[in-house]
Amino acid sequence: MREWAIVTPVKAPDPVRAKPDAVGVAAVEPAREAAIVEAGAAQVGEYLGYSVEGERLVTHYFASTHPGYRGWRWAVTVTRASRAKTVTINEVVMLPGDEAIVAPEWVPWSDRVQPGDLRPGDLFPTLPEDPRLEPGFTDTGAPDDVLAVVEELGLGRQRVLSPFGREDAAERWYAGDFGPTSAIAQAVPYKCHSCGYWIRLADSLGQAFGACTNEMAPGEGRVVAYDYGCGAHSDAVIESPEHPSVEHAFDTTGYDNMELADAVDPEVDLTPAASDELTEADAVQSEVEAAAEPESDDDLREDSPDLQP
């Protein structure tokens, strides 16, 4: 299969409008033959028109009938020398039309990756010349015991945060959800710098930031600004009894007194025959209950010699 040269169209400046060249405009068939030679007769469709590219320079367009390139078109540019009566094929390319499906603009991976995209197992390489970092100067030739203390203090790193990196992080944190301009910080008078749950960061960032240790606060386990605040401040104390009240409370704002007649079950048959049946049933129930009652103390003593006085 012949390889096609697909060129993304670039809108050229239009400072000068050239006059249409009559010979170039009339060269539709030579342009079609050039497209057929390039792609084959089955891939070249109807004629779509022409455009004037410059002096004696005309591009003719033909629809592409390839099923994988719907909306694309063949562009055949012809030109001719001064005073020549025939044209010369300049180039044959396939260009996307207004309804063509084209690939999105290519973006480098370093610009495509956004915060939150990193998943378990992913590695995000750091640029060698990252302005947020600077050398840690670990190769000092110090004795091993000194280097051990340095590493224990967290100073034995090949690269450390640069002043630019500190400033960049501080600006991002301060303007974020846990900065003083957030909605929750604006709604309360309490600030983190006076909260007992707030732990100041080390290094120069500790001048404006700390970590929240209150599990009930929205900033728990996060870096929060010095003047951020929320309703879970350690000084937010209300006076309340040590134990909840056990007294019942009644709503006496309003009620209605309703006098009800003796309730009668509509399903109970009160005819004389039914009344007799109910009386017999009640007598049987009374005998059962009497038999279940415990005997008196005198009867127990007569029956049991152990209980005789």
Cβ pair 227, 180 in contact under 8 A: yes
| Sign of the alpha-carbon torsion through 83, 84, 87, 90 | negative
Residues forming a β-bridge with 79? 57, 88
Supply 276's token pair.
């007799």
Residues forming a β-bridge with 224? 210
Q: Which amino acid is at 254?
A: G
Average of per-residue pLDDT values in the chain: 79
- Number of other residues whose CB lies within 10 A of the CB of residue 281: 10
6: DSSP letter = B
Q: What is the pTM of this model?
A: 0.46
Domains of the chain, first to last: 22-96 (3.10.450), 128-161 (no CATH), 163-225 (no CATH)
| Tens-digit pLDDT profile for residues 161-212 | 888 999 999 999 999 999 999 999 999 998 999 999 999 998 889 999 999 9
> Which spans in the chain are helix H?
22-25, 28-39, 109-112, 144-152, 163-174, 183-186, 272-292, 297-303
CA atoms within 13 A on the CB side of 272: 0
| Tens-digit pLDDT profile for residues 22-49 | 999 999 999 999 999 999 999 999 999 9
